[in-house]
Amino acid sequence: MELWPLLVCCATRMEMEPLLKGLEDAAPVPLPYGAGVAGTLAGRPVHACWFGLGKANTAAGLALAIRELNPAAVIQVGIGGSFAGAGPAVGAVAIATEELHLDLGVRGDDYFEDLQAMGFPLLPDDAGGTIYNRLPVSAPLAQRLARAGETGGVPVQLVPFGTAETVTGSETQARHTGRRAGVAVESMEGAAAAQVCLALGVPFAELRGISNLVGVRDKGQWRIGEALQGAHAVLHAFLQHA
């Protein structure tokens, strides 16, 4: 699989800082939406871009960045929450095996219907099927990230991810959402990036450090720095050895 030039994206510059510090020959990249820096790492061209929080920012920014920069592959990096009992421990690193739109559908008082239940497909699938809420990622790219993490001494878990526009705000709701959706990690942007890359035919993988348990809103219990350090250790190993 051809990887270069690689586009690494996230929501906020804070989530990109560890990569930016290691880029050589770094220079700003003018983008129509969001911000970016181009440089090299281990002699390989890398575009580091951030588009803002949420699915709309990610979809608009990434689609336009792909048009402008024509990357061979996209990796999304950042922090995420883990569903207790199903996801990795806080401080661990996870890679997505798939992405799921958690809140795209119909929500009633005691039920949720996804797009398939509604009968509204999201995208056609190149394999001849139909995409509803669940979006595939590039399995070869995800596996290469996982192997790089192991080579670099950072164990990772490959698990299903879900994206919520409204972050789960209680432990009770977290248990309900985790059981309903069958996902292990929650973010606010991943499904949008996966959808854009699938529609545009660009290999995509998602890598997140686990900063908190889903539903725990006390930021004093979050470990953002440790989560970012772990995620970027895997990314750095990948960029060094891919």
Q: What is the DSSP letter of 201?
A: T
| Any domain includes 64 | no
Instruction: Give a yes or no: residue 7 inside a domain.
Output: no
Q: Is residue 42 part of a domain?
A: no
Cα separations in angstroms, 102 against 45, 124, 177, 192, 219? 34, 19, 8, 11, 23
Q: For the whole model, what pTM was predicted? A: 0.95
**What would the pLDDT profile of 89-108 be if each residue is shown by its tens digit?**
999 999 999 999 998 888 88
Amino acid (one-letter) located at 208: R
pLDDT tens figures, 161-192: 999 988 888 888 888 888 888 999 999 999 99
- Rounded-to-integer distance, Cα 164 and Cα 18, Å: 25
Structural domain total, the chain = 1
Q: Which residues contact 99 (CB under 8 A, 6 or more apart)?
A: 134, 135, 137, 160, 161, 162, 163, 190, 191, 193, 194, 195, 206
The secondary structure element, H or E, covering residue 57 is helix 54-69
Asked if residue 10 is part of any domain, the answer here is no
Determine, yes or no, domain membership for 142: yes
pLDDT of residue 128: 61
Give the integer Cα–Cα distance in Å for 30 and 88.
Answer: 37
CATH of the domain at 110: 3.40.50.1580
* Both structure tokens of 7: 């586009």
Domain extent, residue 206, equals: 76-241
Between CA 137 and CA 42 the distance in angstroms is: 25
Tokens standing for residue 99: 């992405």
Q: Which two tokens stand for residue 229?
A: 């350090």
Would you state the pLDDT for residue 162? 96
56 falls within a domain: no
How high is the pLDDT of residue 127?
A: 55
Give the integer Cα–Cα distance in Å for 192 and 135: 9
- Ranges of the chain whose pLDDT falls below 70: 125-128
* Dihedral of alpha carbons 68, 71, 74, 77, sign: negative
